[in-house]
Amino acid sequence: MIVLITGATGLVGSALSDLCRAQGMTVHYLTTSKKSIVTQPDYKGFYWDPIAGILDEKSLEGVEVIVHLAGASIAQRWTDANKKIILDSRVLSARIIREALSRKREQGTNQVTHIVSASAVGAYPSSLTKYYDETYPKYAEGFLGEVVKAWETEVALFQQLDIATAMVRTGIVLDQDKGALPKMVQPIKMYAGAALGSGEQWQSWIHVDDMARLYLHIISENLIGIYNGVAPNPVTNKKLTETIAKTLEKPLILPKVPSFALKLLLGDMAAIVLESQKVCADKIRNTGFVFEHLSIEEAIPAVLNS
């Protein structure tokens, strides 16, 4: 099987690429850097520039499954220009692939039967009390909710091409070198770690290995619909911070960082760390997926000591 992965060099994409290749699949990947193109028997790069509407359609030859992970980092100051990049990098990248597949379908050459796209738990409104599953009918207000709504709406259009479509609402992906965890680890190592805001906001997390396995499970089982890409036991920001500190054997000396200070420092982007989403993993578990990392007390040491 040939799988096309966008965002293949990112946090989840690199782990999934390795896993797919270990399973005997060939990975095609798209990159905006021509210098990053690699050609190996089971790993082939192709150039694209979604914002400019450029896609090397050779990347689609022989492809049966697409995993769409591309998107600019939300961990940058939310200026109007950056907001546009964050939104367009998700929506336009999905659109250019769909338009290419539509042309191939008209020509009778489309072989893609399944697309699995990343999404985010930012779909759910911030709440300290609600426990969200995929049936929750409303999107969050604010920028993150706007992004996810536009993203998922665009991806859903693949169904019009008779392509099985799945979306993974992803939480905090725990990895030693990439993503949010290294940013949490650094101040704690410097004795400057502290819970953020009230510390009571829920943070839904998943170990990077489970995240890659979850995508592979969706591919293997040909699943459709929306799935939460989170471990079964979300934790508060306070608990997450304390677990990291305990693993690093560092004390937490400082008081919680007040919400107003984070908003002054980060602007609207403070929503990333202050909003609360307690998200349920039951739907994906009920399809037969088994998590290897169930508790934060086990997952953090597994990541940091790997």
pLDDT for the residue numbered 224: 99
pLDDT in tens, the chain (306 residues): 999 999 999 999 999 999 999 999 999 999 999 998 999 999 999 999 999 999 999 999 999 999 999 999 999 999 999 999 999 999 999 999 999 999 999 999 999 999 999 999 999 999 999 999 999 999 999 999 999 999 999 999 999 999 999 999 999 999 999 999 999 999 999 999 999 999 999 999 999 999 999 999 999 999 999 999 999 999 999 999 999 999 999 999 999 999 999 999 999 999 999 999 999 999 999 999 999 999 999 999 999 998
CATH of domain 2-304: 3.40.50.720
pLDDT for the residue numbered 217: 99
pLDDT for the residue numbered 23: 96
**DSSP per-residue letters across the chain:** -EEEEETTTSHHHHHHHHHHHHTT-EEEEEES-GGG--EETTEEEEEEEGGGTEE-GGGGTTEEEEEE-----S-S---HHHHHHHHHHHHHHHHHHHHHHHHHHHHT-----EEEEEEEGGGSPP-SS--B-TT---PPSSHHHHHHHHHHHHHHGGGGGT-EEEEEEE-EEE-SSSSHHHHHHHHHHTT----BTTS-SEE-EEEHHHHHHHHHHHHHTT--EEEEES-S--EEHHHHHHHHHHHHT----SPPBPHHHHHHHHGGGGHHHH----B--HHHHTTT---S---HHHHHHHHHT-
What residues does each domain of the chain span?
2-304
